[in-house]
Structure 1
């Protein structure tokens, strides 16, 4: 058993490849009223792989457009800058972290779970007065700490995955037992390194401890969306488990069973096509 510490993780994060320039600029655009949307759209368009994946999402049933969009500029005009920013961040960050060297890590199940959380968070945001596009991005990225661990500490994380299976426990508990820190903490370090805006930092770092976050933060929303997605079994994983919902998060969101039923129905309806659009 090899425990990790904060310094080890931070050192590894400094060695990661740089984010695509368009993704970095979009992160920096939060809180900037003078962002040059046209220039950012142009930079996105120069990355053919990123553009293709964003347009697949834009043209999926997720947005329900009456006609197809063929360029990033068209997508910005039809859907708005915030929606396009959400899509670029969703598809542009996870691709930097490669997990093919970690035995036992199911990348497809990871993608499906994160898409489910993104869809659920977006629907919940529409019911609770949060920003739907920011919630979607937070849902897609909430478990990015797992990618950091699987791609940079593959042997230790493989050991963690085996421990979780042997002891039939929640993944976050297996991480703490084997590594001494969990994916939310590691994701928070990545969020700091990549200069996530505060709302996305909360979604990543605090989704397993929403009561410790401020009322009205994205952590409440992602926490509930995470539990809902596990409950629906959308990752198609045989060992999926549902962690208890924090009552503080539930009360602060002010939801009820009728509203949740509508969310669940919409998530299931959009799931497969959104996964296909986001997949490389």
Structure 2
């Protein structure tokens, strides 16, 4: 996507909570990835500006993001993990619809306009784009080595060249870019702040609880919403730490066996071997995967 110039209005860094009366708010949790924010925010500002949506960041870094622009920063280094940051962002706005994006996600210029149009449908409770970037055959081959391969609907959505299949009902959206009615998120109980890390199944946990409360099929994938998940940032550049995060996730996944996750010893073995293969979109160091499985970062 092309880059856009960002408006130069300076907003002060807020230590706690701000409110917004806009119909839509764009909420971005971030920690230690200010360079990623600088790449993403110009496109966010363009998309949000078309509908007057507020842009709020929750920065868990030791030093807050201080670049000037039409956004508000909640500096919350006291919070641990992504769920806690998302809950703080939910409390910081009164917008009817909240759009959560990762700090390394690019929005199309018309994203927020399309989202406001979609939100006029009172039956749907949430919306999201298909950010799967692998080709259909590659996706199918990797599906069997991914957690929740038979129950997670995000694993079943086609990749490039299959946009006609994107307008479908679902009970789970991609965590890097999804919108939901704020009252629905609050009624679901928000995000489980007991989960201290990032990428440890918190998105799927939230969507499961939403499905249990409001029923299946109330969320939608739609081709009208276009976004790109760049998958960049500090920790992702380190193959060992990336492997450790994958191993830690697989360990958590296995620990949930018998509590709703269809993990078996063979599927855990396949997933672990896939993570250690050094292939894929984010190759990992096999030693890091083993350390994550063992539960200790070396």
Q: TM-score, normalised by structure 1?
A: 0.26
Higher strand residue share: 2
Which structure's residues are more often helix, by fraction? Answer: 1
